[in-house]
Amino acid sequence: MKSQSKNETSVWKLTLEDKYGEFTLDFTDFSKTSRVLYLRQAFIDEIAENIRKYEHYQAAKSVKRVIDIDDNEIDINKIYVLLGVFKDESRIGFMFFKTETGALVLVGVWPSEFAGKMKEDIKLFEGALTSIIESPQDWIRVDFLLAV
């Protein structure tokens, strides 16, 4: 699978599969930013707790295919995705790659409008993650996605 023609913004192509079929999201590349952003284990533990506590927090095996910015297919077992729908119905997503050391490094942000804002203010990343953990009432839905 080849990505569409290159433009000024490099994207990772994430194909997800659910009960309705397959669909693809374009995540703006964050793998080459000057500051490496990680998902800490403590966050994963806290999101797992929220998944146990709240119906609108879910974990699912729905990552079917990932194509990186160089059109290489990536091992989906190394990809973790966090998608959220805020109470105003705005949507955000973060794609993480598991390195050889086990660190989960941010490689993509969705949608492109949010990615653009995040490139201007990196604190939006921490703010979104904090809100997902500490303010579940502010979210309509939060999904933590793994390989099919």
Is residue 68 in some structural domain? yes
Domain count, the chain: 1
Is residue 2 in some structural domain? no
Task: Find residue 108's DSSP bridge partners.
Answer: 29, 95
Is residue 75 in some structural domain? yes
Is residue 120 in some structural domain? yes
Is residue 1 in some structural domain? no
Q: What are phi and psi of 33, to 5 degrees?
A: -75, 160
Q: What is the pLDDT of residue 34?
A: 75
Q: Are 26 and 4 in contact (CB under 8 A)?
A: no
Q: What is the pLDDT of residue 32?
A: 86
Is residue 43 in some structural domain? yes
Is residue 5 in some structural domain? no
Which of 131, 85, 146, 135 is closest to 110 using CA atoms?
A: 85
Concatenating the DSSP letter of every residue in the chain gives ---S---SS-EEEEEEEETTEEEEEEEEE-TTSSS--EE-HHHHHHHHHHHHH-TTEEEEEEEEEEE-TTSPBP-GGGEEEEEEEETTS-EEEEEEEE-TTS-EEEEEEESHHHHHHHHH-THHHHHHHHHHHH-GGGEEEEEEEEE-
The pTM score is: 0.91
**Cβ-based neighbour number of residue 107 at 10 Å:** 24
* Domain carrying residue 101: 11-147
The one-digit pLDDT tens for each residue of the chain (148 residues) are 443 444 446 999 999 998 899 999 999 999 988 788 999 999 999 999 999 999 999 999 999 999 999 999 999 999 999 999 999 999 999 999 999 999 999 999 999 999 999 999 999 999 999 999 999 999 999 999 999 8
Q: What is the pLDDT of residue 4?
A: 42
Is residue 88 in some structural domain? yes
